[in-house]
Structure 1
Amino acid sequence: MKLKNVMFIFIVVLVIFGIGVYVGMNFFNFLDKYVLKKPVPVGELTPAPEGEGWIDLLSSENRVHWKNPTDDTDIFEITDDGVLHIYGKSLYPLRYVAYTGESFSDFQLHIEFRLTRGANSGVFLRSQLNDPVYRGFEIQVLEDYGQPPNKNSCGAIYDITTPMYNMSFPPGQWNSYDITLKGSEVMVYMNGWLIIHTFLDKMTTPLGKFSIPYSQLPKEGYLMLQDHGGEVWYRNIRIKKL
């Protein structure tokens, strides 16, 4: 067999082999992404805690402390049965509903929320009334049921930490967060499952939207709920100081 023919056959074999490898890799990527999806735990709404030390921030005597610190726009109401309803009429400017009765440092927080399709909100912790976005941090509240988790998905420390699972329920159903904030330690349970456990003091360089490290954020501040478009309801907001 002539050398030219041998080289031609060799090149053809290499091309066929390369095509086979490419097709095979993409096939297995397809299987991993769409067929062999990683199992997601089945969540369950956790009950509102009661007992010694727990404060109901939506009780009849505490409802007066919820304010819009951003401007004079009417953006929310609290119903007679203790549900805080954010109207979500516009995306911008960003507005907030703050519990102004007192500030908190270390605590356990239970909060339940229900979203309309496409709604966007957030639970802001240790926030400052005059600058909630950059002087506090956010546990994202977002209608993204069924989507893979990322650093901006429901349950994330917004723009920083990706939750282990996206545990959110479909729009219209109630979800629960159980959050522990002690020193720099942050633990977030969503619908009964631990999805984040991290330490802010390890974040010593600026990350995400922040110009200062998370480790330098205030150690005390207010609880706020974000109005970022789309109707959102909150209920059973209970806090226990540690």
Structure 2
Amino acid sequence: MFFFPTSSPAKDSPSVFLSAFLGAVILAVCLAVCVVAVPLAGAETAARPKPADDGFVDLLNGKDLSGWVVEGVKEYKEGNESKPVWLVEDGKILCTGKGFGFLRYEKPYSDFIFRVEYSMSKGCNSGIGFRTVPFTGPAATRPSFASYEIQILDDAGKPPSKHGSGSLYRYLAPKTNPTKPAPEWNVLEIECRGPRIRIMLNGQVIHDIDQSTIPELKDKPLAGYFCLQNHGKRIYFRNIRVKQL
């Protein structure tokens, strides 16, 4: 607020012009500060966006296999040296494809959205198990028997089948086969809500089922573990994330 003299000086008095001039200058400065301050505040906000919390958790720390359990063949011989079948390389999980087995995440899940990307080697055969049990050796503890395995196969362009890429292995063929050939990256999403299972591969829905309505599947467990399969071929996995529902 600005205060001006209450007395009434002569019309042409210098004090009248001086007061008017000073008032105009102060008002102009205040307006300029306001005009500049508002864009700056907006720019600062835009420069520091808050990261969105989408509820997903990374299951791979990018450094080692903490939180994961190797099942089946753990090491192989190269000369006189023992080497791991599963390892982390450049922030990705690498299955060297020696022997047979699984890499299982240690925490079980029931209802969830699971996402993973994978890059196959030529002629690759692998898979991703979900809602499964620990593998102890017998076939009954493999995901495709105990629960579910999404088949990973380097069969781009081939018609869908119960044993082809994207199948619920041995049970259901996918609606389509959108698999990209090796070594391109494929993106898989598995969503489970009770008996409802919805699976997408490279942005296309390949399964959308209610297991309670399918005789072969109605008794499959509604909770269990995620696992990655070693079926004798090299394959990379990255961006392994899950959101518990």
- Partners in 1 of 2:54 and 2:156 — Cα distance? 35
Larger radius of gyration: 2
Question: How high is the TM-score relative to the length of structure 2?
Answer: 0.69
Q: CA deviation at 1:62?
A: 8.0
Q: How much does 1:127 deviate? A: 0.9
Map of 2:86 onto structure 1 = 76
Q: Does 2:188 align with 1:186?
A: no
Instruction: Note the C-alpha offset of 1:124.
Output: 0.1
Partner of 2:101: 95
Pick closer, same or farther for the CA change 1:105–1:147 going to 2, 3 Å: same
Residue 167 of structure 2 is aligned with which of 127, 146, 156? 156
**Backbone CA RMSD of aligned residues:** 1.7
The correspondence for 2:148, drawn from 137, 146, 151, is 137
| Deviation of 1:230 (Å) | 1.1
Whether the 8 Å contact between 2:63 and 2:91 is mirrored in structure 1 is no
Identity of aligned residues (%): 29
Aligned 8 A contact 1:128 1:221 in 2:
yes
> What is the identity, as a one-letter code, of the residue corresponding to 2:168?
I
Partner of 1:226: 229
SS of corresponding position for 1:113 = strand
Deviation at 1:71, TM superposition (A): 4.7
1:10: which partner in 2?
none
Is the 2:64–2:88 contact (alpha carbons within 8 Å) kept by the matching residues of 1? no
| CA distance in structure 2 between the aligned counterparts of 1:197 and 1:236, rounded to whole angstroms | 23
Instruction: List per-residue Cα deviations over 1:128-156 (Å, max 9, x = no partner).
Output: 11423322210111110111111111111
What amino acid sits opposite 1:157 in the alignment? L
Q: How many residues align?
A: 180
Deviation at 1:220, TM superposition (A): 1.2
Distance 2:74 2:241 in 1: 26
Contact 2:129–2:149 (8 Å) recurs in 1: yes
Superposition misfits of 4+ residues, deviation over 6 angstroms: none
* Residue 198 of structure 1: how far off its partner (Å): 1.1
RCO greater where, 1 or 2, for CA within 8 Å and sep 6 or more?
Answer: 1
TM-score by length of 1: 0.70
Distance in 2 (CA, whole Å) between partners of 1:82 and 1:201 is 38
Distance of 1:77 and 1:61 partners within structure 2? 9
Unaligned regions of 5+ residues in structure 2, if any? 1-51, 76-83, 136-140
* Unpaired stretches in structure 1, ≥5 consecutive residues: 1-49, 205-212
> Residue 110 of structure 2 corresponds to which residue in structure 1?
105
Match among 114, 124, 128 for residue 119 of structure 2: 114
Please state if 1:240 is matched with 2:243: yes
Q: Assess if the C-alpha contact under 8 Å between 1:56 and 1:62 holds in 2.
A: no
Q: What is the CA distance between 1:203 and its match in structure 2?
A: 2.0
Range moving further from structure 2, 61-70 or 127-136: 61-70
For 1:25-36, list aligned pairs within 5 A. Answer: none
Is contact 1:116-1:230 (8 Å) kept?
yes
